[in-house]
Structure 1
């Protein structure tokens, strides 16, 4: 019997860990192939590839991001190969299983919850006596077509599952794909919007096995490993041992963890600050809300003061990037409350702030209590809310505009200097900047069209002009620097009119080539000729003392600044240098 396990990933770089667990657990008894696609792939292409493999059984791993696309694939497969046995599994179909069996008549079986042992048992029955009522954790159709749902299966001892990371077919793609890895299953918390709250307790894989798998992946060329543990740091000793191991063996691989920041122990933070190599670790921290009443209603225990301590200490170390998550639409969080939550978290200065919207996932307590809070939400995945008693759809749409420009202007880090200046000096708060700009953006229909890098700068500049922003020359000067620093090579076009004409630029280039010591010893050490400067550098004047502004935030217009940006010929990136000039001097005399 030939078996294929398949999934439609959100992006090509993603991989499905579930398929690898199923293959590793069942591979000794059955021929199991893995077939991964993306939700953007044409359905016909997916169906054609699966048909070519000529399987007897296909199992699909289902999530909120792929269920609707998977249903289309399943429907088409059953039409062209009616005898094919189709099995669904994964978190999206593990709850409301009767609904899924009735909605998708082409599906023969559903595996509920952890699937390794149940799927193997099901394959044995499919190839043997076909006594499906013995397969705990599975749903099936009996001889009359009625849906039968068997009792659940006891949890499997994790170390009984062979490693999912040792398949030779995966090795060539490791440097270019995200590798998902788990050291534990389960979550100790009970957040009512999360599926992890349903599983009681936390189980861990053996430490030596975990280290061996990680070392194998690192040595095989993995560049990014994402740990899918719901709370990686819940067991301090376990987390610390893995941190130490990765620090000693990382070889340039990057590791991302989901952590609960308010339980992070000071000694762990001190160790990471001292020993973690810069850029090797990333932390994802689910803040969700800073409203205490909201957190209490969703059974989310969180000490924001301790969370702030952790995030601040990690940021001060300069070693670890932090990705903080928010959820708009939680109970008792109206627009003004969410504005406060956003500003509370943005003030922590995360490298990335992810603004998400509440999804009423099947099986969660919040979906069960939806009527209590007046929730209305999408009937199909991703089950995103459309409003509740205190957060109408109109407010959600306003926050959507915040999300749009937040992604483009903060999370993408295209103009950090400019955004920090505007938020700190020209707007009441970070949220107000993103909201006002987001409203302006949508009024002009820009959300419907694409954009190049220069478009983003032009649109921000147009917004600042439109609202009559004070000290716009300062913002524009910072935007020029941000723009230059966003290129690996000397930009061919700019979004503003150069302050300097060609003669003035040539004059400054001549001065920089012949008197590099006037700039700095670092610039002089580059030993750039005038010809090289013309080819690999750009100069522009900034109408204030840029070095002083960067040092203490003072805007001093008594001196202007010559900005010289030098681009490495090999595309390694730009370096910028400054030379303070008297504001009355436009360019040096010949």
Structure 2
């Protein structure tokens, strides 16, 4: 009996931990082939590939992001292989099981909740012809009616095999994200989250965990993302794991964790700040809302003062990148309240702020009580809200405009100096107002419906400022030039702004540069690897929050061919005069 376990990942770089757990648990009794695709792959291509494997059983791992595309694959497969046994599993089909049995009529079985033991038991039942009613955690049809067997006891995680020792995975470790779990379950009961449904936290064997991590690093894994819902729930455990990773880290490896910030002990952060190399760790922190009344409505306990302490200590330590999550649309959080939440979080100045929208996931407490807040939401995945009693659809549209330009202009870090200046000077510190107004302008111009190159981001912001903030345009333009040149690895062939310097003036400035003490550069070097522009402000003073100088300056960027890093210099115009620098013979 040939078995294939398959899924449609959101991106190629993602890997499915679930498929590998199923394979590790069932082998060697049942040999399985893993088949991974993406939601962007044409359905016919996926079906063709699965058909070519000639399986008897295919198990699909289903999530909110892939369920609709997976159903298309299943329907097509059943048309060409009616005898094929189709099994669904995963969080998207583990709740409201009767609905899925009725909707996906081409699926033969649904594995409910944790899948390793149930899926293996189902395969044994199919092979041996034993009664399906004995397979705990299985849903199926009998005479056209849904049958949902009693749930299965939770798996003892300390006695499961490693899902990371498959030879076929090793060549891809350096190219893709490796998902890793040291525990399952969550101690909290947030009403919008599926993790809150499982009570308690179970841990894998710590010795096996460490052996797997060493194995992955030794075989080239570069990005290892822990999927534990609250990695730091046990302080001693978290500290031990952080210490182990610091001591055994390989160059270029990054570990990502989901952290509950308000329970993070200062001594743990101090230890990381003191001992970890920069860039080794990345923290994802779910803030969701800074409105205490809103958090209480979704059974979320959060001490914002302690969260602030953690985020600030991590930021100031300079070792760990932070990604802070927000959810728009929580109960009783209107537009004004969410604006405050956004500004509270953006003010931390962390590397990434993720603005998401509430999804009414099947099985969550918030979906069950949706009528209490007049929620309107999508019938199909991703079940995103369209409005509620305090947040209109128009409000949601406006917040989506914030999300669009936030991703392009902050989370991408293409214009940090420019964005910080504009928020502070033109919007009195309200990041939300800047992104919202610019986002509305972006939508009005129709740019959300067309693609963009890097240069477009600069010219479109310049257009916005020309129409709305002319008084800040000169300073912003200087900073935009600085940001643009700062993020190039090679001398740009052209810039987004028109060239203004003559050949004579360029030559005069380059000769000035070569004559500076310790320059070590020739004019040939500068013409080949240097880029020059005129600005009207002293950016060195501006970036230090000092007084501004409106005398003309030159912005000179030299792209070192050895380091691939730009070396940017500000040259006062009055230092370069016709009389002070003479052409060389």
Taking structure 2 as the reference length, the TM-score comes to: 0.97
Q: Work out the number of aligned pairs and report it.
A: 580
Paired residue for 1:576, among 568, 578, 581? 568
Other structure's SS at 1:470 match: helix
Partner of 2:542: 549
Which residue number in structure 2 is paired with residue 181 of structure 1? 180
Corresponding residue for residue 361 of structure 2: 361
| Distance in 1 separating the partners of 2:493 and 2:556 | 16
Aligned to 1:120: 120
In 2, distance between residues paired with 1:398 and 1:588?
55
CA RMSD of aligned residues (A): 1.4
- Which region of structure 1 is more displaced relative to structure 2, 112-121 or 572-581? 572-581
CA distance in 1, matches of 2:171, 2:414: 32
Name the residue aligned to 1:227.
226
In the alignment, the residues of structure 2 paired with residue 45 and residue 248 of structure 1 have an alpha-carbon distance, to the nearest angstrom, of: 45
Question: Contact 1:508–1:587 at 8 Å: present in 2 too?
Answer: no
> Which whole-Å CA distance do the structure 2 matches of 1:571 and 1:376 have between them?
54
**Does the CA contact (< 8 Å) of 2:278 and 2:319 recur in 1?**
yes
2 CA distance for matches of 1:254 and 1:468? 40
Alpha-carbon distance, 1:571 to partner: 7.1
Maintained 8 Å contact 2:508/2:576: no
User: Is the Cα–Cα contact under 8 Å of residues 4 and 35 in structure 1 kept in the other structure?
Assistant: yes
CA contact (8 A) 2:325 2:355 kept: yes
DSSP 3-state at the match of 1:541: strand
Length-normalised TM-score, structure 1: 0.96
Indicate conservation of the 8 Å contact 1:543/1:583, yes or no.
Answer: no
Partner of 1:461 in structure 2?
462
| Alignment correspondent of 1:21 | 21
Question: Which position in structure 1 is the counterpart of 2:321?
Answer: 321
Residue deviations 1:248-289 (CA, integer Å, cap 9, x gap): 111121000000011100100110111111011000000000
Asked if the contact 2:417–2:543 (Cα under 8 Å) also holds between the matched residues in 1, the reply is no
1:551 alignment partner, SS class: coil
- Please state how far the C-alpha of 1:207 moved relative to its aligned partner: 1.2
Q: Tell me, yes or no, if the aligned pair for 2:508 and 2:578 is still in contact at 8 Å.
A: no
Q: Measured at CA, do residues 152 and 539 of structure 1 come closer, stay the same or move farther in structure 2, by a change above 3 Å?
A: same
SS in 1 for 2:186: coil
Which stretch shifts more, 157-166 or 187-196?
157-166
2:408 aligns to what SS in structure 1? helix
Deviation at 1:47, TM superposition (A): 0.6
- Tell me if structure 1 keeps the 8 A contact 2:25–2:160: yes
Cα deviation for residue 504 of structure 1 reads 0.7
Where does residue 213 of structure 2 map in the other structure? 214
Change (3 A) 1:583 1:554: farther
SS of alignment partner, residue 165 of structure 1: coil
Task: Give me the whole-angstrom Cα distance separating, in 2, the residues matched to 1:482 and 1:468.
Answer: 19
TM-aligned CA deviation for residue 423 of structure 1: 0.4
- Which ranges of 4 or more aligned residues in structure 1 deviate by more than 3 Å? 580-589
- 1:92 pairs with 2:85: no
Partner-residue secondary structure (3-state), 2:470: coil
Query: Greater shift after overlay, 495-504 or 290-299?
Result: 495-504
Asked if 1:537 is matched to 2:530, the reply is yes
Aligned counterpart, 1:284: 284
Change (3 A) 1:256 1:588: farther
> What corresponds to 1:441 in structure 2?
442
> Any idea what SS the aligned residue of 1:552 has?
coil
Question: Does residue 134 of structure 2 align to residue 134 of structure 1?
Answer: yes
Q: In the TM superposition, what is the alpha-carbon distance from 1:587 to its structure 2 partner? A: 9.5
Three-state SS of the structure 2 residue aligned to 1:216 is helix
Residues in 2 aligned to 1:586 and 1:140: alpha-carbon distance in whole angstroms: 87
After TM superposition, list the pairs within 5 Å mapping 1:49-448 onto structure 2. Answer: 49-142=49-142, 144-252=143-251, 253-428=253-428, 429-448=430-449
For each residue in 1:366-415, what CA deviation from the matched residue of structure 2 results, as whole angstroms up to 9, or x when unmatched? 00010000000000000000000110100000000000000000000011
The answer for the alignment partner of 1:528 in structure 2 is 521
| Alpha-carbon displacement from aligned partner over 1:22-57 (angstroms, at most 9, x marks no partner) | 000001101211000000001111011111111111
Q: Shift of the alpha carbon at 1:359? A: 0.2
Contact 1:457 1:479 survives alignment (8 Å): yes
Deviations 1:227-256 (A, max 9, x none): 000010111111111101111111121000
Structure 1 distance, partners of 2:347, 2:319, is: 19
Per-residue deviation, 1:564: 1.5
1:500 CA displacement: 2.2
Which of 576-585 and 427-436 deviates more? 576-585
Distance between the aligned counterparts of 1:197 and 1:308, measured in 2?
Answer: 24
Q: Is the 8 A contact 1:489 1:571 kept in 2?
A: no
Alpha-carbon distance in 2 for matches of 1:288, 1:219:
37
Alpha-carbon distance in 1 for matches of 2:302, 2:101: 38
Residue pair 1:461, 1:476 contacting (<8 A) in 2 also: yes
- Over residues 549-581 of structure 1, what are the superposed CA-to-partner deviations in whole Å (9 max), with x where a residue is unaligned? 222343222x44332211122572322122334
Q: In the alignment, what sits opposite 1:567?
A: 559
CA shift for structure 1 position 118? 0.4
CA contact (8 A) 1:180 1:227 kept: yes
Q: Which runs of 5+ in 2 are unaligned?
A: none
Report the Cα offset of residue 298 of structure 1: 0.3
CA offsets 1:302-354 (integer angstroms, 9 cap, x no match) = 01111111111111111111000000000010000000000000000110000
Q: Which residue of 2 aligns with 1:451?
A: 452
- The answer on whether the counterparts of 1:560 and 1:583 sit within 8 Å (CA) in structure 2 is no
Aligned-partner Cα distance in 2 for 1:221–1:553: 46
Structure 1 position 539, deviation (Å): 1.7
